[in-house]
Amino acid sequence: MKNIILAVAALLAIVSCKQPTDKITELNEKAKAEYNIPIRPGYEGKNPYWNRFSNKFMYAPAFDFNEVEGATQYKYTVAQNVKENAKTWSFTEKAPNRSLAPIWQQIEVGNVILTIEALDGEGNSIATVGERKFYRDSPFTGPYHGAVRGYKESALLALLYIHNMPAIQNWKNGPTPDMSYELNTYPCKIIGSTISVEVLLSRLCPELKDDALKIAENAAQFLINESRPEGDPLAFFPPTYYGDYVTSGAKRNKGKTMAMEALTAANAFLDLYDATGKQEYFDRAMNITETYSRIQAEDGSFPIKMDFFTGEPVNEVRALLHPMLEYLQRLQQQYGVKKYDKMFALSEKWMQEGALKSFDMTGQFEDGTVVGLQPYENLTNCTAAPYASYLLNKDNTTESELNDAIDLVRFCEDQFVFWDTPVKKYGIIKVNHTPCVTEQYKYMVPIDHSACNVANAWLSLYEETGDELAFTKAKALIDMITIMQNPNTGKIATFWRNFLVGTDWINCSLLSIQTLIRMDELMSK
């Protein structure tokens, strides 16, 4: 049966056609020009300087250095010492916190040191204002690798791989997880994603529909069985953590739950409702939504983490609400649910006045901690890119929202996309498979989920504006998914780094599959 699917998929395979040379040259020049435009620099007044912990830049950066009394201008000098071939680039400005745009295109890829000196009226240096070391990253320069198989074929192969995993087949025996797949310790994220994977397989591969839906319904029953009962503070919420298998922060996380995690389960219940028509699954999602509406604070915020039994916050940190906005957007656009418009408006306002105004796109992951983090210490694409997609996927995106989304996508490229392998002190070390997207400052490892976050934001930008460069950048990352896929098993690697061995995350594979299908549908129009 698998051979039949592969044969059919092969007929649907998209032949990777190269763009004409003049078009590629045009797009490369467009990208080059855009890299001279700084991303939300603090001197514009929209937000504070957000890059104090940043180590690499693709777009001309600006830094928060203070003026010196008696200075009439400031000299910016970027130095690059490549053994005996040292190079410098300089210019002067009236303030010490402006962007490096005047020399950005001249600076070569590699590690550099920026020094800013205060000058008096005669041009003499009177003080060193500041110094900053960073990596001047490689720009987008197409063409990149083409897809090695059709997008739909790649998606089907990945679906079949997950479906045939022993831990997934185990769900046919009943609503109990096989903990040999240790990531089942994260029920909302992993088991919720398992449901969505099997629902998708049931649609794309009718021969396996019965098996796929049996797996999905048993996995859903497990989430229902483990959820808090009606009347509890977190009624109907499935757990973020399960058993004694928590791989990170076991003691810290025992008996706790991440506020936004239940949304993955709610989305899975909606997927299962779509596939089966069973009202109980839609109702389960609505009951979860009702609990969210009850625990939302008056300012629109939610705690990042709570006690799973009492609902009490475990710290003062508030959750970033891009998952909530995307979920409520789905309820409105797909099901016409307007009941939670107030929660929607409050959530949107909180994100606008908090994360967007500060431009602090901090990572909030269930296997990490945010306690004690300084602002901007752990920025991530996993907040910025989905938030950009949400803004671009609104029914009526305003000009202001469009500009915010563009800034968010540019930020993701600047800080987390690598179009080429970074140059190290002793030459090029082939560590990452490029192009790729790293996850967060605290884990600068290329992840397929991160590549999909940014690719989907670019696709949404393309659909909203017709920006061919955004589409071409997205395609380069999506094509890479097919390259990183095991051609024999269909497994899509979670980690795009040589010699890094780890358990592949089903939620990451799910987004890769969904992204491949989106690309297939877009290319088929």
Please tell me the distance from the alpha carbon of residue 2 to that of residue 8, in angstroms, as a whole number: 10
Say yes or no: 167 and 119 in one domain: no
- The domain total for the chain is 2
Classify residue 58: in a domain, yes or no: yes
- Give the pLDDT mean for 467-486: 97
- Give the pLDDT mean for 21-47: 96
Structure-token match 């039949």, residue found: 4
Say yes or no: 301 and 446 in one domain: yes
pLDDT over 50 at 94, yes or no: yes
pLDDT at residue number 318: 95
CA 49 to chain centre: 22
- Give the pLDDT mean for 175-182: 95
Helices (H), 352-447: 357-358, 381-392, 399-416
Say yes or no: 62 and 165 in one domain: no
- Give the pLDDT mean for 507-514: 98
Choice among 103-112, 127-136, 249-258 with the minimum mean pLDDT: 249-258
Classify residue 14: in a domain, yes or no: no
Say yes or no: 62 and 27 in one domain: yes
pLDDT at residue number 12: 38
pLDDT over 80 at 425, yes or no: no
Say yes or no: 370 and 510 in one domain: yes
Q: What is the dihedral of CA 168, 172, 175, 177, to 10 degrees?
A: -30
Classify residue 5: in a domain, yes or no: no
pLDDT at residue number 245: 60
Say yes or no: 66 and 159 in one domain: no
- 53 residue type, one letter: F
| Residue 253: band (very low, low, confident or very high) from pLDDT cuts 50, 70, 90 | confident
Among 136, 170, 198, residue at a domain's last position: 136
Say yes or no: 247 and 366 in one domain: yes
Classify residue 436: in a domain, yes or no: yes
Say yes or no: 128 and 161 in one domain: no
pLDDT over 60 at 249, yes or no: no
Choice among 36-50, 128-142, 258-272, 495-509 with the minimum mean pLDDT: 495-509
3-state secondary structure of 396: coil
Helices (H), 205-340: 209-226, 250-253, 262-276, 279-295, 322-335
Say yes or no: 127 and 176 in one domain: no
Structure confidence by residue, pLDDT tens digits, 15-27: 344 567 889 999 9
Among 79, 106, 136, residue at a domain's last position: 136
pLDDT over 80 at 248, yes or no: no
Among 136, 161, 180, residue at a domain's last position: 136
Tell me the CATH number at 96. Answer: 2.60.40
Classify residue 458: in a domain, yes or no: yes
- Give the pLDDT mean for 82-98: 88
Classify residue 517: in a domain, yes or no: yes
- 331 within 8 A of 340, measured Cβ to Cβ: yes
Structure confidence by residue, pLDDT tens digits, 291-336: 999 999 999 999 999 999 999 999 999 999 999 999 999 999 999 9
Domain span including residue 101: 21-136
Which distant-in-sequence residues (6+ apart) come within 8 Å of 512 by Cβ? 158, 448, 449, 451, 452, 481, 492
Peptide bond into 143 cis (omega under 30): yes
Q: Residue 112 corresponds to which tokens in the numbers above?
A: 């550099």
% of the chain with per-residue pLDDT over 70: 92
Classify residue 292: in a domain, yes or no: yes
B/e letters for 329-357, b = 16+ CB within 10 Å, e = fewer, are: bbbbeeeebeebeebbebbbebbeebbbe
- Give the pLDDT mean for 178-206: 96
Structure confidence by residue, pLDDT tens digits, 332-348: 999 999 999 999 999 99
Please tell me the distance from the alpha carbon of residue 210 to that of residue 221, in angstroms, as a whole number: 16
Say yes or no: 320 and 211 in one domain: yes
Phi, psi of 81 (to 5 degrees): -105, 100
Determine if residue 429 is left, alpha or beta; phi over 0 gives left, psi from -120 to 50 gives alpha, anything else beta: beta
Share the mean pLDDT of the chain: 92
Say yes or no: 131 and 248 in one domain: no
Classify residue 8: in a domain, yes or no: no
Say yes or no: 246 and 301 in one domain: yes
Tell me the CATH number at 348. Answer: 1.50.10.10
| Residue 369: band (very low, low, confident or very high) from pLDDT cuts 50, 70, 90 | confident
Adjacent-strand bridge partners of 132: 114
Start-to-end Cα distance in the chain? 29
